[in-house]
């Protein structure tokens, strides 16, 4: 972590010292501020890895059970991580824009390109004569992804392990070796990860898929929170989210907008993967030997997810981004997505389990963890 922060801060300082031209931000010579409008800014959020850079906030939530004062520490960890990350990356972007050689901008921002694939920041370092910084960035291109990869490699098998424990995946995925590692889950994660490189052979192509998929998994959280408040209003909560439905519905809308901005070219692959996952889950429930341990799918309460997924597929197809048909155009696509999100949010809440079923589901999960 400290290595990653140190490299970013070093790049910011060096770029601003060696070359910083504030005219790059607004000069009409290069098209002025946001010459292509704000639509490409939204498209860049998932596609350029910007949203992915902020996903570290989730650890503040995932480790909430380890803190003695979640009501205070969870907001501090989540909001603090986003603010710190925001300041660092805004400063890095400002340093990047200011340090670009002016002659590279003669054709405008749309035609900005470099001679090789050495990496944008490393290429600028070479153009500025900071060869030593380029060498550090080359090393960081290995160290930083490896660090993130190790974290996800440790987390992903635990997710499939948890699914197996509650009966939503084959029991074999819950097998541990003598070191307490779910080794079959780890092997499955490795194989699936390798397969993912077939449709996404580079990081630039993979990051949008990862971002959209991760945000899609987050989006169920707001609906669950709002539903649980109605199902178990007297349940003890170590952390209480203020504002009733306000924050959950804002979170749900933002998640759907990010998926929409990812665009059709990436999203059709994502929703195909989701559909395959549902098929595998249904087949598991049909052919599992020990059906007594399988949880009831309760489709009566889950059909709203079909509406949600189908709606996002349609919005991506007719949307303005990433190879969509652009039937709605910019702004109207966002408006329709917001309206759709509000409708699905309350449909999802209306489909919630009864309080008795919710208590049973919570107890079943707790028994699986014991």
* pLDDT: which is higher, 205 or 209: 209
Domain chopping of the chain, boundaries: 1-21+36-113, 201-370
Could you report the per-residue pLDDT of 254-267, keeping only the tens digit for each? 999 999 999 999 99
Q: Tell me the pLDDT band of 369, cut-offs 50, 70 and 90.
A: low
CA distances from 41 to 71, 119, 267 (A): 34, 21, 18
pLDDT of residue 288: 78
Percent of the chain with pLDDT over 70: 93
Would you state the pLDDT for residue 164?
Answer: 84
Q: 350 with 152: CB under 8 angstroms?
A: no
Alpha carbon distance 250, 257 (integer Å)? 11
Q: What is the pLDDT of residues 80-95, one digit of tens each?
A: 888 988 999 999 999 9
Give residue 370's pLDDT: 55
Lookup result for tokens 């860049």: 44
Tell me which residue of 200, 203, 198, 216 sits closest to 55, measured CA to CA: 216
- Out of 18-27, 238-247, 293-302, 310-319, give the one with best mean pLDDT: 310-319
Q: Note the pLDDT of residue 367.
A: 63
pLDDT score for 314: 97
pLDDT above 90 (res 286): no
Number of residues that this document lists for the chain: 370
pTM: 0.84
Contact predicate 38/48, CB 8 Å: no
CA dihedral (234, 240, 242, 243) in degrees, to 10, reads: -40
Q: Are 202 and 208 in contact (CB under 8 A)?
A: no
71: pLDDT strictly greater than 80: no
Given this model, what pLDDT does residue 62 score? 64
Mean pLDDT of the chain: 85
73 vs 338, more confident? 338
């Amino acid at each position: 972590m400290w290595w990653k922060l140190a490299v970013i801060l070093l790049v910011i300082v060096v770029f601003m010292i060696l070359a910083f031209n504030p005219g790059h931000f607004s000069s009409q010579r290069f098209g002025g501020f946001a010459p292509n409008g704000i639509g490409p800014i939204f498209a860049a959020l998932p596609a350029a890895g910007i949203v992915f850079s902020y996903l570290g906030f989730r650890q503040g939530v995932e480790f909430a059970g380890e803190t003695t004062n979640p009501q205070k520490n969870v907001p501090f960890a989540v909001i603090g991580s986003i603010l710190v990350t925001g300041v660092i990356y805004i400063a890095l972007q400002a340093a990047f824009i200011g340090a670009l050689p002016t002659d590279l901008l003669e054709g405008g921002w749309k035609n900005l390109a470099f001679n090789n694939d050495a990496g944008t920041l490393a290429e600028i370092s070479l153009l500025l004569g900071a060869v030593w910084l380029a060498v550090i960035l080359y090393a960081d291109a290995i160290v930083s992804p490896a660090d993130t990869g190790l974290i996800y490699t440790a987390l992903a098998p635990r997710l499939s392990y948890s699914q197996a424990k509650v009966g939503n995946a084959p029991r074999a995925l819950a097998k541990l070796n003598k070191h307490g590692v779910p080794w079959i889950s780890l092997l499955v994660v490795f194989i699936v990860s390798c397969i993912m490189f077939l449709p996404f052979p580079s990081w630039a192509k993979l990051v949008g898929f990862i971002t959209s998929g991760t945000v899609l998994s987050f989006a169920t959280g707001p609906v669950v929170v709002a539903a649980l408040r109605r199902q178990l209003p007297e349940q003890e909560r170590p952390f209480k989210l203020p504002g009733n439905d306000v924050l959950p519905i804002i979170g749900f809308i933002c998640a759907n907008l990010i998926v929409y901005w990812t665009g059709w070219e990436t999203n059709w692959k994502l929703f195909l993967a989701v559909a395959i996952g549902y098929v595998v889950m249904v087949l598991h429930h049909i052919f599992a030997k020990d059906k007594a341990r399988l949880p009831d799918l309760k489709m009566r309460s889950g059909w709203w997810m079909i509406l949600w997924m189908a709606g996002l597929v349609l919005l991506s197809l007719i949307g303005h981004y990433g190879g969509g048909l652009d039937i709605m155009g910019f702004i109207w696509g966002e408006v329709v997505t917001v309206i759709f999100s509000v409708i699905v949010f309350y449909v999802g809440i209306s489909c919630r389990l009864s309080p008795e079923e919710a208590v049973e589901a919570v107890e079943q999960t707790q028994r699986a963890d014991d």
